[in-house]
Amino acid sequence: MASGPVTKRLIVPLLFTLAGTGVLVWLGVWQLHRLVWKDALIARIGARSTAAALPLPLATAWARLKPDDYEYLHVSAQGHFDNAKEVLVFRTQGPRDLGAGYLVLTPLILASGDEVIVDRGFIPTDLAAKSSRPESEIAGEVTVTGLMRPPQDRNFFTPADDPAHNLYFTRDPAAIAAHFGLTRAAPFVIDQDKIAIPGGWPEGGATIGNIPNNHMEYALTWFGGAVGLWIVFGTHFYRVWRERARATA
């Protein structure tokens, strides 16, 4: 077997292996960078969410706040709930494997007149009607403690909101404020801590703190794919070499 045909049989697989290795190694390194970022994020969330509640930032600073500045910050705010402006945000899964249900979001009116949308927690679908949980409408001055959260993003698969029935599919304080004509609403939401509520619902503390961190597994998968490419190429090279050795024997 001439060396020319042998070279042709190896050059294309070799080029493919080199290109594939480059892509797979790049993906693996990218996942390692994501791992460092996720570790820092989890550490920041843990430190912020478990710290003593700080006073809510002043309304004059709200417009300048960025999510990285406040996400998962444990805060405290005083005011009264505007229960007439309660909305529900659909969730396919609640805490403790309760199945589908809703998050109850209610504006908290501060003494200054500014408004903060509070995610008071989860209710099962059979408690969607206010009449089924009259004890949940707390009147008078309250102190709310919870975690500051940014608006929730929508994607292509997110259903359209139904403001006429106070039904939403993302926690978007701007959309809720616009529907009710709240002109001084905060650009964030407070996830209320789990506290004792008359009747037991809504159940607060609905923030998902267990953030997946699988980036090391992903990185090893990509690096393993690169190794696999070279194993395949090595097998092909050995087969071609054996055929050439037999032909020249």
**Amino acid at site 146:** G
| The domain boundary residue, chosen from 192, 224, 239 | 192
**Distance from the first to the final alpha carbon of the chain:** 10
- The pLDDT, as a whole number, for residue 6 is 58
Are residues 177 and 80 both part of a single domain?
yes
Are residues 117 and 138 both part of a single domain?
yes
How many whole angstroms separate alpha carbon 63 and alpha carbon 187? 8
Are residues 175 and 85 both part of a single domain?
yes
- The pLDDT, as a whole number, for residue 5 is 63
Residue 206: inside a domain: no
Residue 72: inside a domain: yes
Percent of the chain scored above 90 by pLDDT?
63
Q: Which domain holds residue 39?
A: 3-43+214-248
> Pick from 57, 129, 49, 46: which is nearest to 86 by CA?
129
> Pick from 138, 122, 142: which is nearest to 83 by CA?
138
CA dihedral 138, 141, 145, 149 (to 10 degrees): 80
How many whole angstroms separate alpha carbon 37 and alpha carbon 185? 31
**pLDDT (tens digit per residue) in 212-222:** 789 999 999 99
How many whole angstroms separate alpha carbon 159 and alpha carbon 12? 47
Are residues 226 and 172 both part of a single domain?
no
CA dihedral 84, 85, 86, 87 (to 10 degrees): 140
- Listed in sequence order, the DSSP H helices in 104-184 are 173-180
Q: What is the average pLDDT across 146-162?
A: 92
The domain total for the chain is 2
Are residues 230 and 137 both part of a single domain?
no
> CA angle, corner 236, sides to 231 and 240, nearest 5?
145
Residue 170: inside a domain: yes
- The pLDDT, as a whole number, for residue 41 is 83
pLDDT band at 1 (very low <50, low <70, confident <90, very high): very low
Inter-residue contact 122 to 88 (CB < 8 Å): no
| The domain boundary residue, chosen from 162, 192, 222 | 192
Angle between helical axes of 215-248 and 3-50 (0-180°, round to 10): 170
Residue 85: inside a domain: yes
Number of Cβ within 10 Å of residue 105's Cβ equals 24
Q: What is the average pLDDT across 224-244?
A: 90
Are residues 103 and 160 both part of a single domain?
yes
**Amino acid at site 204:** G
**Amino acid at site 64:** R
